[in-house]
Amino acid sequence: MTISVGDKVPSGTLVTMTADGPAPVTTDDLFGGKKVVLFALPGAFTPTCSAKHVPGFVAHADEIAAKGVDTIACLSVNDAFVMGAWGKDQGAGDKVMMLADGNAAFSSALGLTFDASGFGMGTRAQRFAMIVDDGTVTALNVEEPGAFEVSSAEYVLGQL
């Protein structure tokens, strides 16, 4: 079942790259008592994700934060090493937290995966963005396959 507005985000553990190596990030720590914009995409270093999705959130990070958002996080079914390298490549710095969902466990718990086996990529997160306030989803924007509109930084900024 797909998560909906008003639902609590499921518990789980993601991974982020730190100066000391991969570090776990529980969803309770990520979302608890905070307002978070989480956006997900099919894969690091892929065309739309690298040319539009992440750059939009990096460019609008200050505007989003000014609307009361504590954390902007990017989620992908990749490992923490890839997400760390991609974050550096994209200039994410401290503006966008890069989160690895290596086994697609969290994306699956959200009900927001698709089968990309035909492209050699296995199970991947759908392209989406959500606003989460203290663990509760207040906005959820899931893209149609191949689209990039409702999960963009500009669209999410208009919902804050």
Instruction: List, by residue number, the catalytic residues.
Output: 49
Structure tokens at 104: 């697609």
> Measured in whole angstroms, how far is the alpha carbon of residue 10 from the centre of its chain?
14
Question: Which residues lie closer than 8 Å to 94 by C-beta, 6 or more apart?
Answer: none
d(CA 53, CA 26): 24
d(CA 72, CA 98): 9
Contacts of 145 (CB under 8 A, 6+ apart): 114
Concatenating the DSSP letter of every residue in 50-118 gives IIIIHHHHHHTHHHHHHTT--EEEEEESS-HHHHHHHHHHHT-TTTSEEEE-TTSHHHHHHT-EEE-GG
